[in-house]
Amino acid sequence: MIDLSGKTALVTGAASGIGYGMAKRLAECGANVALCDIGSNVHSIANEIGDLTSSKVKSAVIDVREASQVFAFTNDAVNEFSGLDIVVANAGVWTSTDPVEDSEGKAVSDWDLLVDTNLKGVFLTGRAAIPHLVNSGGGFILNIATDHICPPPGFATGGGTRMDIYDASKWGINGLTQSWSKRLSEDNVRVNAFCMDATDSAMIRYASQKFNRDMSDDIVNSWMKPHQLADLMLELYNEGPDGRTGENIGIWLNHPIALPPRQEILPSRHP
């Protein structure tokens, strides 16, 4: 593992799954870690990580849909740890949606939940953190998207037939990743997204149960594990200031969990 002593990382949705895996690895590497989640168990997770490592760990219960909470938590973390270097915008939710069967009320409620959490939450996290990353002389943002927008070779984009709002929220993250990476390149802030396939988490377990999918030991054991994505995140971070930026990085089942070759940087049609 790399040495992140003196660095500060902020992770949203850190009380379980991918967020927990990322936070734990960052702390194991020596970074101070600020964890937030809508679940109150984030405090016990922070205590656990603090006990297992020598890192300083801060936690708070926040809703990433609420700007005041996101900005206050980010500012508090920066003040407590004297800076910010790494941001993992992981918080996300899923629920089944259907354009034929859903009532008007359910459709609007689902839109508000999924778009405000998955897209607005990433937006607010980035906007709260970016000024601090720039002031630190550079930094690293990792947005958590989905393989629905970056599928393995030979497969179409998009999720299932009951994922229209979820997919819309995750496609929006691509716009943030692309625009931020261009705007922040001169400030040495790199912005990328992980677009991963099935990873063991509360979300995929809930979705699998909802769709009555096979959840045998063989299936669950085939899912990627949060610590594997965390290790890949460290590898991506370790590319340094000259590393890739603006990439959607696909991570798929039955494929190596590894960074792909860097993409060719094409000229932009817009300033």
Q: Give pLDDT, residue 205.
A: 65
Check: CB of residue 68 under 8 Å from CB of residue 132: no
Check: CB of residue 11 under 8 Å from CB of residue 88: yes
Establish if 71 belongs to a structural domain.
Answer: yes
Q: Give pLDDT, residue 271.
A: 74
Check: CB of residue 21 under 8 Å from CB of residue 9: no
Establish if 168 belongs to a structural domain.
Answer: yes
Kindly report the pTM of this predicted structure: 0.94
Distances 44 to 40, 87, 163, 247 between C-alpha atoms, Å = 8, 21, 32, 34
pLDDT in tens, 29-53: 999 999 999 999 999 999 999 999 9
Count of the separate structural domains present in the chain: 1
Establish if 264 belongs to a structural domain.
Answer: no
Which of 20, 166, 206, 237 is labelled catalytic?
A: 166
Q: Give pLDDT, residue 207.
A: 61
Q: Give pLDDT, residue 201.
A: 66
Q: Is 166 a catalytic site residue?
A: yes
Establish if 94 belongs to a structural domain.
Answer: yes
Q: Give pLDDT, residue 204.
A: 65
Examine the pLDDT at 57 and tell me if it is beyond 90: yes
Banded model confidence at residue 200, pLDDT cuts 50, 70, 90? confident
Establish if 97 belongs to a structural domain.
Answer: yes
Establish if 23 belongs to a structural domain.
Answer: yes
**Alpha carbon distance 124, 72 (integer Å):** 11
Banded model confidence at residue 214, pLDDT cuts 50, 70, 90? low
CATH number, position 17: 3.40.50.720
Q: Give pLDDT, residue 208.
A: 62
Examine the pLDDT at 232 and tell me if it is beyond 70: yes
- Give the range of the structural domain holding residue 175, as residue numbers without chain letter: 8-251
Nearest to 226 by CA among 13, 11, 20: 20
Establish if 265 belongs to a structural domain.
Answer: no
